[in-house]
Amino acid sequence: MFEISDGLLQPQDLAARLADPTCGGYVSFEGWVRNHQDGRAVKALEYEVYRPLAQSEGEKVLAEARERFEVIEVAAVHAAGHLEIGGLAVWVGAVAHHRAAAFDACRYAIDQIKVRLPIWKKEFYEDGDSGWVNCEQCAAHGHAHHAHAGHEHNH
């Protein structure tokens, strides 16, 4: 199951969907909206999502995770639109008979989601400026902050 959501994500509801009596391990990842980026104070952000392809590519990533690891199910939901600090931007959950596969599948899914899905993050800073994350052009585009392309943005 892969979903793009406009509403607030509720991790406990998402996890409940994965419940399976044969599974002894549940691993989840939550990506939260952080209040700083490259030394700048972030006030909020907005995700732009190209839904047709984000959906199909998200489903592909989950199918690959199921194929590569001994999981019973792996699921993910990504938020779209405006999010405040602390908001849940992305959730990934994996269940397996044993924990190792659940950890591996969860890690694989979030790593692939971050680099493959057509989703863009625009940050709004406390100083009133804004910028697209992972976009080195920000510097040439009239924004004061330094280029940061290719830089790992860990949640």
Return residues touching another protein (CB under 8 A): 31, 47-50, 52-54, 56-57, 78, 89-90, 110, 113-122, 132-137, 140-141, 149-150, 153, 155
Instruction: State how far Cα 119 lies from the chain centre.
Output: 9
* Nearest distance in Å: CB 117, another protein: 5
Residue 149's φ and ψ, nearest 5 degrees, are -65, 145
* Nearest distance in Å: CB 124, another protein: 14
Q: Which is nearer to another protein, 23 or 113 (CB)?
A: 113
Q: Which is nearer to another protein, 23 or 75 (CB)?
A: 75
Is the CB of residue 87 less than 8 Å from the CB of residue 79? yes
Q: Which is nearer to another protein, 72 or 135 (CB)?
A: 135
Task: Count CB neighbours of 31 within 10 A.
Answer: 20
* Nearest distance in Å: CB 105, another protein: 16
Q: Is 88 helix (H, G, I), strand (E, B) or coil?
A: strand
Q: Which is nearer to another protein, 24 or 81 (CB)?
A: 81
Give Dmax (Cα) for the chain. 55
* Nearest distance in Å: CB 79, another protein: 10
Beta bridge partners of 30: 91
Q: Which is nearer to another protein, 96 or 113 (CB)?
A: 113
Q: What separation in angstroms does the CA of 151 have from each of 46, 119, 128, 148, 155?
A: 19, 16, 23, 6, 13
Q: CA 115, CA 57: separation in Å to the nearest integer?
A: 11
* Nearest distance in Å: CB 114, another protein: 4
